[in-house]
Amino acid sequence: MHKSLCGLLLALALPSAEGASQEIRALFQPDPSQPSKNVFINKTPVSGYCASHVSECADNNMFSLQLPIRFNAQRPLVPADYIQIRVPASWRQLTVKNSETGETETVEVRITGIGSNYVLSDAATAITGEVDNIDAHRKLWVESSWVNAPPPCQYSGMGYLTPKTYQFFWKTPQEGACTKTAAYAIPHMSMEYLDFAYELRTPNPLNMSSGLYSGSMVYSIGPAGDFDLGSLIQPDDNVLNLDFVLDVQHTLKVDLPPGGNKVMLEPEGGWMRWIDSGRKPTSIYRDQLFYISASSRFKVMMLCNSTGGTRCKLGSPQGNVTEVETFLTLPAGIGGPSGGEVKLLKLLYNTWVGPFQPTVYLDRKAGSLRFEMPRDAIDFLFRPGLSDTLSGNITIIWDSEV
């Protein structure tokens, strides 16, 4: 008996549920010419409405995107059929996360406008019997042509037409259905694309660490969805992903004036004043200026020859040793750990101090480091017959990774 085997390879193709995706990227870089402007700048290329209405969008903090999502009527329209357009016009929140630090922040977004270009199967003049194209598109709808936005949508100034098409855009200041009603039978109608405007609320970048923060907002498209053109007009894609990326590029730079890395300690008024008086000085110190540029929180650490605590050792080849303490003063506009001003804050050996938080971007503002001998170190140093030169190294580390 002869047997034969037949192998069948079966495949099942499922529709993709990924939907359309669009990245929205915003950048923060401190601007020395505008130190109080602590905001993100939207770097997403504009398309659609705002590409042709630049000043209108700039005045209203709007940005627009045009996506190749097409809408088609599911059957011919008859008089009294209506198209209701709804968009998510209220503020919605999403979380963005720093991929390196794990920190999270909240971004808010709302849709502030909606538009497309409707395409008719026949010229509007053929459908309505009007001779003029403008009159024909106006008569085609009970509420007049689509340059006139039905409430709660508002007029945006866009209304471009051809015999078979009408490009429109409506502002959407609040939630609600914006309705157009057919006055004539329309054999077929479609919308060529999805054009929408959006507005962003971003977090305060001064409170964020440097790096990329990312997160997504997912919108549904279609009947009863976030973007809804009614049951009669349905999309060829039912999901829209907006992928947000906030790029934070902070500045933290500390400069010393020329020669500022060499500090000479002396009594107030100089050594000769005390030598001539024959008296022991009550204080020996030096205030060293520095210039700081900072746009985010930071911390500070002191390293030196120390056995711990607040004191660093100065020594000589003769074996004499004394000690010095370091005090930090920061310019106005930078708060300390408790929120107040930072003035003569004593630094600790090998211990981070902070965080310090700028309230605005500071560009080369002056602060100071005071190096001062404690009173007991002065008493020890001024022993009868002692003549020596003592020195040591102190390193101050500034770090924005708090």
Strands 92-98 and 154-161 come out as unpaired
Long-range contacts (CB closer than 8 Å, 24 or more residues apart) made by 107-110: 107/200, 107/201, 107/202, 107/203, 107/215, 107/244, 107/246, 108/200, 108/201, 109/198, 109/199, 109/200, 109/201, 109/217, 109/242, 109/244, 110/198, 110/199
Mean pLDDT of 299-314: 93
Q: State how far the Cα of 131 lies from the Cα of 294, in Å rounded to an integer.
A: 67
The predicted structure's pLDDT at residue 381: 78
Look at residue 379 and give its three-state secondary structure: helix
Look at residue 321 and give its three-state secondary structure: strand
Strand partners, 64: 197
Q: State how far the Cα of 166 lies from the Cα of 139, in Å rounded to an integer.
A: 13
The predicted structure's pLDDT at residue 18: 57
Peptide bond into 152 cis (omega under 30): yes
- Which helix (H) or strand (E) segment holds residue 125: the answer is helix 124-128
- Which helix (H) or strand (E) segment holds residue 358: the answer is strand 353-358
378: left (phi over 0), alpha (psi -120 to 50) or beta: alpha
Query: Structure tokens of 257?
Result: 């004036």
Q: Which residue carries 């973007």 as its tokens?
A: 227
Helices (H) and strands (E) in the chain, counts: 6, 26
Question: Domains (ranges, CATH) in the chain?
Answer: 20-248 (no CATH), 252-399 (2.60.40)
Q: DSSP 3-state helix, strand, coil percentages of the chain (rounded to 5)?
A: 10, 45, 45
Look at residue 377 and give its three-state secondary structure: helix
Strand partners, 276: none
Q: Residue 261, exposed/middle/buried by CB under 10 A (0-12, 13-18, 19+)?
A: exposed
Residue 353 pLDDT > 90: yes
The predicted structure's pLDDT at residue 33: 81
Peptide bond into 355 cis (omega under 30): yes
Mean pLDDT of 318-347: 92
Count the Cβ atoms, other than its own, within 10 Å of residue 83: 24
Q: Which residue carries 């990924």 as its tokens?
A: 18
Q: State how far the Cα of 298 lies from the Cα of 353, in Å rounded to an integer.
A: 9
Residue 277 pLDDT > 80: no
Count the Cβ atoms, other than its own, within 10 Å of residue 14: 5
For the segment 123-158, what is each residue's pLDDT rounded down to a tens digit? Answer: 999 999 999 999 999 999 999 999 999 999 999 989
The predicted structure's pLDDT at residue 385: 66
Mean pLDDT of 33-43: 86
Confidence of residue 267 (pLDDT cuts 50, 70, 90): confident
Of 235, 232, 208, 202, whose CA–CA distance to 220 is shortest? 235
Query: Structure tokens of 71?
Result: 């809408």
**HEC sequence for 172-208:** CCCCCCEEEEECCCECCEEECCEEEEEEEECCCHHHC
The predicted structure's pLDDT at residue 41: 94
Q: Looking at the chain, how many residues does it have?
A: 402
Mean residue pLDDT of the chain comes to 90
Backbone angles phi, psi at 50, to 5 degrees: -70, -15
Q: State how far the Cα of 103 lies from the Cα of 382, in Å rounded to an integer.
A: 53
Q: Which residue carries 């479609």 as its tokens?
A: 190
Of 263, 287, 283, whose CA–CA distance to 273 is shortest? 283
Longest CA–CA separation in the chain, Å:
128
Vertex 335 angle, CA 308 and 100, to 5°: 75
Residue 288 pLDDT > 80: yes
For the segment 224-264, what is each residue's pLDDT rounded down to a tens digit? Answer: 999 999 999 999 999 999 999 999 999 999 999 999 899 99
The predicted structure's pLDDT at residue 17: 44
Query: Structure tokens of 242?
Result: 């907006």
